[in-house]
A and B are shown apart, each in its own frame.
Chain A
Amino acid sequence: MSTAVHNQPLAPNDPLIIAGVEYQSRLLVGTGKYRDLEETRQAVEASGAQIITVAIRRTNIGQNPDEPNLLDVLPPDRYTYLPNTAGCYTAEDAVRTCRLARELLDGHDLVKLEVLGDEKTLFPDIVQTLQAAETLIKDGFKVMVYTNDDPIIAKRFEEMGCVAVMPLAAPIGSGLGIRNPYNILTIVENAKVPILVDAGVGTASDAAIAMELGCDGVLMNTAIAGARNPVLMASAMKKAIEAGREAYRAGRIPRKRFASASSPIDGTFF
């Protein structure tokens, strides 16, 4: 006997599509700030993320040659690597970093562009970011760009050919959550490319709010890696992203000031 005939599939195929590639997970995670590579691996696994960010840094010379490598623990054939330009304060350094990343990852051209303005806020330097994006796009890169929550600039990045626009919710690593939901909403409503909240998420409800606003995904690092139990938080974030996405697709009820009874008035016997 089947009772499932009235059940619609909860999430019919609803992939995130970036630069023509489908991903089932809408949670993108960073791999920094973990205690060790094993904790990184476990947290990434628990998050269900398919796209993971990495940084490009000088190789340590003269140190233990058998030291485990991130690419061994999280194999690039299983995850889509998203090299970032974290730490870059000029367009030139960001472009150099992306070119090194492409060489390192055998021609992989999907990158997360961030050009920072100052160390205190880690807010993006938009002038430098625009310059870098232009050079990178001309050079064949697929650019996912970290930007502030400015709808005008977000649209500009889309028009110049960025494959995804990633406004911050709050400063990187701050955990302050979605500080300007109306701007995020405006950015989402204007966009034809995926909009991902990048930076500022503190806990699962923040991720759910981003998704309920209609964001296509969320990228986070510190909220997971800095939690007391990173692997458990990774699992919480996975569920929050899925719940927020389903709630967005389901369509929430309007907010009203006063009550509306859930039980019928008809048939009361008192």
Chain B
Amino acid sequence: MPSPMEILVNGAPREVPEGTTMAQLIEMLGLTGRRLAVEVNREIVPRSTFETHRVQPGDRIEIVHAIGGG
């Protein structure tokens, strides 16, 4: 079993197994297939790299979408 690591997702702490990919994280969050954009430590992680991008301990992850606004 990979040991858990702590990350911050949309401001809330969360534990995920070491080696988790972005695609796996999005699946764990129940967001697979949703139209969203992801930033890790203030850098964009393109959707095309979700399968290969590995989450690192202490990552600050922002997952955003479009909502009504003026």
- Chain A positions within 8 Å of B, measured between CB atoms, are 30-34, 37, 40, 53-59, 61-62, 65, 69-71, 81, 83-84, 86, 96, 99-101, 103-105, 172-173, 220-222, 225
Contacts and interface: CB of A to CB of B under 8 A. Distances in A.
A96 B44 CA distance: 9
Interface of B: 9-12, 29-31, 34-39, 42, 44, 46-47, 62-70
Contacts of B67: 32, 54-57, 70
Given A31-B68, A70-B68, A103-B47, A65 B30 contact: yes
A62 B29 CA distance: 7
Contact of B44 (A31, A70, A86, A103): A103
The 4 closest A-B pairs by CB, nearest first: A55-B69, A30-B70, A221-B70, A104-B37
Given A56-B64, A62-B30, A104-B64, A172 B36 contact: no
B29 A61 contact: yes
A81 B66 CA distance: 10
Contacts of B42: 96
Contacts of A84: 69-70
A103 B49 CA distance: 12
A175 B63 CA distance: 34
A61 B44 CA distance: 19
Contacts of A65: 30-31, 34
Contact of A54 (B29, B37, B62, B69): B69
Given A71-B35, A101-B37, A59 B68 contact: no
Contact of A71 (B11, B63, B66, B70): B66
Contact of B62 (A62, A69, A100): A100
A207 B66 CA distance: 27
Contacts of B11: 58
Contacts of A100: 37, 39, 44, 62, 64
